[in-house]
Amino acid sequence: MHSFCGSSESTDLEAAADATSIRTNRCEFVGRSALAGAAAIGAISLLGQRVGSAGAAPSAAQDRKIFNFALLLEYLQAGFYGDAVDRGRLKGEVREFAEIVAGHERDHVQFLQKALGPGARKRPRFDFRDATQHQRKFLSTAVVLENTGVAAYNGQVANLTKKGLAAAAEIVSVEGRHAAWISDLAGEDPAPRAADPGASAGAVVAIIRQTGFLNVT
């Protein structure tokens, strides 16, 4: 799963990692996770629910909050890729990426729904507008979504129990491969640094807001 780092009182969103035009052979990096460079933002609640906060001891209750936030991201990703496939505007390896990753994200949704049981958040409505109808816009959006997801999961590592962390690790490793693949397809460096900071829940909310796909209050 994606991890979200503990919240603070700052509300300033720091800049994400600079995109580059370096292109490498996907065979050289597809097994490496491409972590996003999104940085921390302060204390914020998502749809009325606060996720793991700094200093709070990991607990099953906190795992559920974090997993529910992860579920929102998985809903968003699954919906985005599914819509892109349905629209039929993508070509070549980009379409192959969308088809494969749509299936992965649906599996992630089901995994989290099962783990959360009756407490799983409902699937919201998304409006992807033309981002799933034009290949160039799809590429740029997918890069943001995948890198944000990985950074989000990484940010919550310290807030999860051992059991929760083990479950998250099974998902985030796959998300890292998605991020590397789509970055390569978009002509960006799939692994621009050895390690990147995680992103807080607030940073992730800010990025989701910027897409305009979902209204978050």
Q: What is the pLDDT of residue 52?
A: 58
pLDDT at 214 over 70: yes
Is it the case that residue 39 has pLDDT exceeding 50?
no
Q: If you ran DSSP here, which 8-state letter would residue 17 be given? A: P
Q: Looking at residues 17-27, what average pLDDT do you find? A: 30
5 DSSP β-pair partners: 200
The fourth-level CATH superfamily of domain 4-12+19-211 is Ferritin, core subunit, four-helix bundle (1.20.1260.10)
User: Is the pLDDT at 42 greater than 50, yes or no?
Assistant: no
- Provide the pLDDT for residue 54: 54
195 confidence band (pLDDT: 50, 70, 90): confident
**Residue 178 has what pLDDT?**
97
Kindly tell me if the per-residue pLDDT of 27 is higher than 70: no
Residue extents of the structural domains in the chain: 4-12+19-211
Percent of the chain with pLDDT over 90: 66
pTM: 0.76
Instruction: Read off the pLDDT band of 85 (50, 70, 90).
Output: very high
